[in-house]
Structure 1
């Protein structure tokens, strides 16, 4: 069997002048592509490169560097753009890289031509053992945060590409648009090698220009605009992208006239979502694969498809399902893992659960290691319920939990601002169609996405379940609950609901003033300035300096029946004392004048917020103070660390400028769990109502402060925000 380099050379001979690679500013014909790749390969050989890391955003240069490694017999190790610094360092050390090839300007490196930059790495250890014939190492974080290297040969990648070409015979895919990172093996093989072997054009653009940032950031408007502009015949989608495009097509925002084949993989997809997509004119076809098998194992295609399955296995592999329902694959499995001797097993246990029909169609039902077992002994695949939740509720993310409980529950991310009451009917309808043992007991609604940076997602966007389970108390503390009517005839707010959950639920609408502040979107999209950060820290100083005095005032006014709360305040005071000094340190690191900040006055919103709390403590119910705790510590959990990391990256400030944000993101997680337990001990209806009403007011005033943060005029104009 001819390998990829030879097959690509044949294509260049047959279609020399046809465009092979199209970028925003450049295009390469097949002949030019091979000439450029050979020239780069010669330079890699001249430089003595054996193992190269390939960095950078999606671009023509990235593809040329990848092809050059194939031609030069250099082990290529793609570096995902969303890897953390520690993960990238682990990858470099583990793979024993000689150099980094970058598709982005590297002033410390040497320009090899065609937009490819070379940087030699310091001499280090030889790296971990790798199997002979390794040509590419694809790193995946799997179920932990430490990346694991899957070693593949040229022959294995070629076999997958040819099997895909065979399965798609008869479908004219003349233009493919890459919307997943090229470092993702699926896009690398099925989005680059496959179209090139089919004589098609591969179109690439910076992912941010297509609305995609990191491992899970998505601006659907920008993505739709990019797809409409390029008019591709094919795309590779993960379930979240498929759901977003289906919704856009249903709103007639997406031009679907050019589409011929849209592959969906990387996670379980609801059959209803696929059906909706077809109705909206999207040719969605579900497939299945894993890095250890060259990225694709099975695929539905026109004329050979079945709903509820991932299609028939490709011709280059054999698949069977054993008595434990584990999916096993033989025929084109990886050489082994970097640093681990091959197990030498004939069949690779994928760890996925499934079923194979007599007709050959394969169904995948989730990971064996993720099974939940209820207290009634029923097995539940969380992936199944998660796909149903995402479809039924329009959730961005969903994680089902409840191992050992009578019924499962779920944490879902809802970004469109719907209230618990609006979601309750959708949950009730979903439960009505589920088996009784799988009906969800409760949903916990979260506004902020789970991220890889927080350790809750793998590099390819899948839940890190062990970490989520460990952090569940904190994650639920920052969410608000929706209980199913089947649990009780009581309505929200009745005695069966713990007060903390009631507090979360009854302040959900007010919370939108904070979570919907324009500054959060602006930071995510790179529109933030040192002036804005300094202004925010200044406001933080002027309310944090009152935290301890407010607690002291509250403690002095509490009645004897709330002695347990006064005791808790003593602990709070000890923890919180001096934090306003941290903020002054941060401001100094940003170049601000400490004394000017100290003697200045805050924004009116902060002045009113602090005054309101003193007034409630002195003239009303002192328990109102805890409405502020609900707002500020809950907001810190959701926003402090992720926004701090984004701001630091945007502004290039030192760690010394982020002691307040970073410490509060972590510190307030412990505080908030303590706060949850404390609130559940507050049973007096008047105290409860005072806390709820104060939280609503503080959400409004703190939200006003966030809305007042000075943002660039261009951002405000683009987003119709008042200057």
Structure 2
């Protein structure tokens, strides 16, 4: 039975029952609605609007006339293009042009390109989803399918559930049209459809849920369809205001997973929440939690017009049990991961990599946003996340010490639809990359990055790396660093680097021994310091051997060429640790660890490539690199034992300062490769020891 036939049946048996209640205008009974729809449909046919197969645009805010027009178009056999209010004007025009739609009413006609409709005969309802990559995606359905889905919803809920349904989701939303309007009218309920602003939904991404809660209570609403974000905000609003909504019998939540804690809070308030699962290409609703209550997290059994099964990787696939959407390709690949329990209930466990589902019900491709961010000159790396959150979020690595990430995000957001804009971003240290490349070229180790930054509170070492990323970039931008890392340094310069490293390591170790006595009351930290110092002693010995192995004199390691900058750095470190906070030495050690890891490894490669060092030198350099790798792991454990906020602040402050002082010190080393006099200078220094 069509919707029109069902309206006539209601009109015959319950002509005075209220069918549509727009709040701002007169209500329409079933008797009045059936007559009005029939007359409007005939007028459309008489105007020859049914003679062409092209769809007619239907857009605007909720009102009684909007409902009548949609029902009349369907009754006249004219395809309806239902436009989402979330589309920009440019997207709106592109969609209308793409499906060669006609317009009636106050808007000007849009020229149609070609005379052949792109949709098969029998198409009744057309909509465009926002699309995971910003390009609206067309979906078309025949009238029988829409009625079938709506009837299955009514069957799942029961005719007794027909009450007063409030249209909350934005106009043009497939879920609201099928499971809200059609299902309510088929069941003989009242469709309450006020303008969005009246219920606090003028801006769907920033709803006023206190207004919504008050409206639900005042107008005795019995059923709602919400997305997870709306449920979360409605729960918070009711908790804050104490508004009572005793008439609510069903609050269906579709469009993403609801956190168990939110479900618990909602049910504690007496809200009859039922989790559902929807896939737009399948005609909106796929499964709905049973009235008796399924286990928390299940989305219920799949409705009769569909069958769910799992791909080998756990992706939920949908097969059609009956005739369905003219544009669907079966089986439907949902992009969702899940499982089916022994009772036949469907569980949605998450999304496949590459796409997130926001709590507003939108799907967003992470690579799409990441590519936009990486096109900004200030962004070196980006990882977008936000599954289950209101809007996407990002971890960003700056490309330079002066990179303006605020401006970069603002520039990207200005070109994105509202639902895909980066809401919150965080500056972090460079990401690890995987050795394998995915099908779309992605080499980010997303699991490792998530474990480091998102799955739990980041460790202090992780935060230390992020807090000093710009200081490290400034240090690496020095001409001396470019020369060292590119292999254009002389042997004398490289030996000078090693000499300074040995010299400063001695002083850092002395400082560590000095503060150790002041930390006797913290045995765990003392044990970590002891392990770190033991490894540093091995590093010091390896640097000494590298100096000799590369042809330098041993005295260079003990008495490197003096620079005032070097003395300044040591003096600053001793003052901070002696007079203020002894743990500040960890900040100095961190800066030296970072510099050492880069220069020893890459400087050794440069020396091997360009200077043909003795084999012993290469063995010594390899030993330094191996000890440095062990050292950074020991240092990470040491730093993560520092939990006091004041201690952490001292470490961060010292680390930032130390990078600058190290830069001044290295800049003072000559880059000229005039004459390699390192051995001769070493001999002179050696005489001074005699």
TM bin (shorter chain): 0.5 to 0.7
Offset at residue 487 of structure 1 (A) = 4.7
Q: Is the contact between residue 62 and residue 194 of structure 2 (CA under 8 Å) also seen in structure 1? A: yes
Equivalent in the alignment of 1:331: 321
The structure having more radius of gyration, on CA atoms, is 2
Report Cα offsets for 1:223-273 as digits up to 9, x if no partner. Answer: 223223222000000000000111122234332211100000011212221
Cα distance 1:412–1:290, how it changes in 2: closer, same or farther (>3 A)?
Answer: closer
1:55 to 56, 59, 68: 59
Offset at residue 349 of structure 1 (A) = 2.6
Q: CA–CA distance in 2 between the matches of 1:123 and 1:414? A: 39
Equivalent in the alignment of 2:69: 65
Equivalent in the alignment of 1:497: 467
Equivalent in the alignment of 1:220: 209
Q: Is the contact between residue 178 and residue 191 of structure 1 (CA under 8 Å) also seen in structure 2? A: yes
2:351 to 351, 362, 367: 367
Equivalent in the alignment of 1:529: none
Partner of 1:213, secondary structure, is coil
Cα distance 1:412–1:138, how it changes in 2: closer, same or farther (>3 A)?
Answer: closer
Partner of 2:294, secondary structure, is coil
Q: Is the contact between residue 41 and residue 68 of structure 1 (CA under 8 Å) also seen in structure 2? A: yes
Cα distance 1:180–1:562, how it changes in 2: closer, same or farther (>3 A)?
Answer: closer
Cα distance 1:451–1:291, how it changes in 2: closer, same or farther (>3 A)?
Answer: farther
Cα distance 1:458–1:147, how it changes in 2: closer, same or farther (>3 A)?
Answer: farther
Which blocks of at least 5 consecutive residues in structure 2 are unaligned?
372-381, 391-405, 424-439, 445-451, 480-652, 662-690
Q: Is the contact between residue 297 and residue 317 of structure 1 (CA under 8 Å) also seen in structure 2? A: yes
Equivalent in the alignment of 2:120: 131
Q: CA–CA distance in 2 between the matches of 1:451 and 1:240? A: 21
Offset at residue 125 of structure 1 (A) = 2.3
Offset at residue 36 of structure 1 (A) = 1.3
Offset at residue 365 of structure 1 (A) = 2.3
1:90 to 84, 90, 94: 94
Offset at residue 355 of structure 1 (A) = 0.6
Report Cα offsets for 1:406-464 as digits up to 9, x if no partner. Answer: x998569999xxxxxxxxxxxxxxxxxxxxxxxxxxxx9x999x9897246369x9xxx
Q: Is the contact between residue 213 and residue 238 of structure 2 (CA under 8 Å) also seen in structure 1? A: no
Q: Is the contact between residue 399 and residue 412 of structure 1 (CA under 8 Å) also seen in structure 2? A: no
Partner of 1:194, secondary structure, is helix
Q: Do residues 250 (structure 1) and 239 (structure 2) align? A: yes
Q: Is the contact between residue 299 and residue 348 of structure 2 (CA under 8 Å) also seen in structure 1? A: yes
Report Cα offsets for 1:330-379 as digits up to 9, x if no partner. Answer: 22574333xxxx65x4x3332322111110100112333537xxxxxxxx
Report 1:405-424 matches (<5 A).
Answer: none
Q: How many pairs were matched up?
A: 426
Q: CA–CA distance in 1 between the matches of 2:321 and 2:477? A: 69
Report 1:264-283 matches (<5 A).
Answer: 264-283=253-272
Equivalent in the alignment of 1:17: 16
Q: Do residues 454 (structure 1) and 416 (structure 2) align? A: yes
Q: CA–CA distance in 1 between the matches of 2:351 and 2:322? A: 21
Partner of 1:62, secondary structure, is helix
Q: TM-score, normalised by structure 2?
A: 0.54
Q: Is the contact between residue 76 and residue 135 of structure 1 (CA under 8 Å) also seen in structure 2? A: yes
Report 1:358-397 matches (<5 A).
Answer: 358-370=342-354
Offset at residue 133 of structure 1 (A) = 1.1
Equivalent in the alignment of 1:649: none
Q: TM-score, normalised by structure 1?
A: 0.52
Q: Is the contact between residue 97 and residue 110 of structure 2 (CA under 8 Å) also seen in structure 1? A: no
2:138 to 149, 153, 175: 149
Q: Is the contact between residue 271 and residue 307 of structure 1 (CA under 8 Å) also seen in structure 2? A: yes
Which blocks of at least 5 consecutive residues in structure 1 are unaligned?
109-118, 372-381, 391-396, 416-443, 462-468, 474-480, 503-560, 565-679, 689-723
Partner of 1:254, secondary structure, is coil
Equivalent in the alignment of 1:38: 38
Cα distance 1:452–1:332, how it changes in 2: closer, same or farther (>3 A)?
Answer: farther
Partner of 2:312, secondary structure, is coil
Equivalent in the alignment of 1:289: 278
1:200 to 189, 192, 195: 189
Q: Is the contact between residue 210 and residue 234 of structure 2 (CA under 8 Å) also seen in structure 1? A: no
Cα distance 1:302–1:498, how it changes in 2: closer, same or farther (>3 A)?
Answer: same
